[in-house]
Amino acid sequence: MILVSNGCSHTAGAELEYACQGECYDRAWPKHLADSLGYDHINLAMSGASTNRIVRTTYEFIYDYIKQGKSLKDVFIVILWSGIYRTEVYVDESRSYNYDNNWTPMVVGNDARNKEQFSPSLYYYYKSWTATMTGYQASCEFYIAVTNLQNLLYRYGIKYLFMDAANSGLRTEDIRLDPYRIQINKKYYEGLDEYHNCYTTLCNSNAQKISKYSIDSGFNSHYDEDAQSWFAQHVNKILHKRNVL
């Protein structure tokens, strides 16, 4: 069996070894979880990843896996969904934005860095997106993306578990979102619309520590390897409680 994980910096293992580190797959919680299950492991997560990237790269993984003639019956997928105020854009330009396959992340709050790194046209697109994106639209797009990936995994009979990385800002009380939210199978989504069940809140409420490197960088948001190990044990218990393996 192989555990495939996807998500943002909290799944990639950011800042476990040094400040501003993007990923450290060998020490992040998915590796600890895979070891406890006796599974092999592939981590698709990247820092700054959006819901869009999670869906896109999981599609690509499944396509490549099938193309290689491998059986999807041996795959188990765990995803920590990132915040809703993120997206990505394909940049067909010669300059590099240090991301994957010409896709670059758009994250609310990265204005200074984006102004320095992006071309003028890309930066103005980012500013427009930031200014016009509403909580309702972001929540709507999130639920649809989750359902999209859920249905793909169901089609191929792939076992999975969804959780949230952080308090995403979802408009959980907005009844206009009911047509989208109702499509999600809660058996395979631990903590859907429950902010206290997201990764960062769980680590904080269980006295897990922020990585010293994250403190050094000023982010103060990425947990250390002991927390990664603790969360892996937490997820393992959920898998058995929900009987999804």
Where do the structural domains in the chain lie, given as residue ranges? 2-85+135-242, 89-132
The reply to whether CATH 3.40.50.1110 applies to domain 2-85+135-242 is yes
SS3 of residue 144 by DSSP: helix
Give the 3-state secondary structure of 55-72: HHHHHHHHHHHHHCCCCH
CB atoms within 10 A of CB 147: 16
Mean pLDDT computed over every residue of the chain? 95
pLDDT by residue (tens digit) across 134-163? 999 999 999 999 999 999 999 999 999 999
Beta carbons within 8 Å of 10's beta carbon, 6+ residues apart: 80, 165, 166, 199, 200, 222, 223
Q: Which whole number is the average pLDDT over 14-26?
A: 97
What stretch of H or E contains 161?
Answer: strand 159-164
The pLDDT of residue 82 is 96
Residue 101 binned pLDDT confidence (cut-offs 50, 70, 90): confident
The pLDDT of residue 109 is 87
Strand partners, 88: 105
Residue type, 8: C
